[in-house]
Amino acid sequence: MAKSPTGPNGSKAGNTSGRGQRDLKVKVKSARGRTMSSTLWLQRQLNDPYVKRAKAEGLRGRAAFKISEIDDKYRFLTPGKRVVDLGCAPGGWCQIAAKRVNALGDRVGKAQGYVLGVDIQEVEPILGCELHVLDFLDEGADDKVKEWLGGPADVVMSDMAAASCGHKQTDHMRIIALCEAAAYFAFDVLEEGGVFVAKVLAGGAEGELQHILKQRFKKVANFKPGASRSDSSEKFVVAQGFKGRDV
């Protein structure tokens, strides 16, 4: 009688009980000095397929797949585009943008783009990107960015999130305020026809932001990429076709 094939962990390949899959998950034991929430976060990270994939592909975090999915749908990171990434640390969004806009100029026959990443902390160098320590909220930050770019930007994007205080409504208001600040910064640096992409949290207060963006852009959409965790209220607003600063 032939034996059933077995998987790498010794479970039968045809087993549908789920026991074989469950055995593959990494379980993290509680340690002295580590809170339960920290333990659960670590366990989730170790079992997150996007975290594993990011490591395998040399990307700086799972967030890189969010911008990949957003761009797959809306197609704004095309060769030749000039991109500003606000709050760019650790750099995953910059990595994706650099490849897609041809920042290295290694795609024959395609226009060469430019990626500028700014953050309040220093970021390790990224191939094809220019990185600066800058608080975009500082006076004159928009002029510095345009100087570094050599003109206006085609895309301003942001995956920034305000520091959490643990109070859901307060955290929601903080991230919406940060997104609004990023939007007004984008109004100062975007080329007419440009694109603004930013993270928001669903919760009600984003209505005013949506209203502002609809006045300044031809199209405004909301999208939750598959790389966003299902238990997260985050989504991304994608505003296309900037009407210009005089609107």
Angle at 97 between CA 151 and CA 223, to 5 degrees: 105
Q: Would you say 135 is a known binding-site residue?
A: yes
Backbone angles phi, psi at 241, to 5 degrees: 80, 60
Q: Would you say 143 is a known binding-site residue?
A: no
Determine which one of 66, 81, 99, 199 is catalytic.
199
Compute the distance between CA of residue 69 and CA of residue 51 in angstroms, rounded to an integer: 15
Q: Is 29 a catalytic residue?
A: no
Q: Would you say 91 is a known binding-site residue?
A: yes
HEC letters along 129-187: EEEEECCCCCCCHHHHHHHHHCCCEEEEEECCCCCCCCCHHHHHHHHHHHHHHHHHHHH
- The residue type of 216 is R
Compute the distance between CA of residue 223 and CA of residue 236 in angstroms, rounded to an integer: 5
Q: Would you say 41 is a known binding-site residue?
A: no
Q: Would you say 203 is a known binding-site residue?
A: no
- DSSP reduced 3-state for 68: helix
The annotated binding site for S-adenosyl-L-methionine is made up of 91, 93, 119, 135, 159
The annotated binding site is made up of 91, 93, 119, 135, 159
Any idea which residues carry the catalytic annotation? Answer: 199
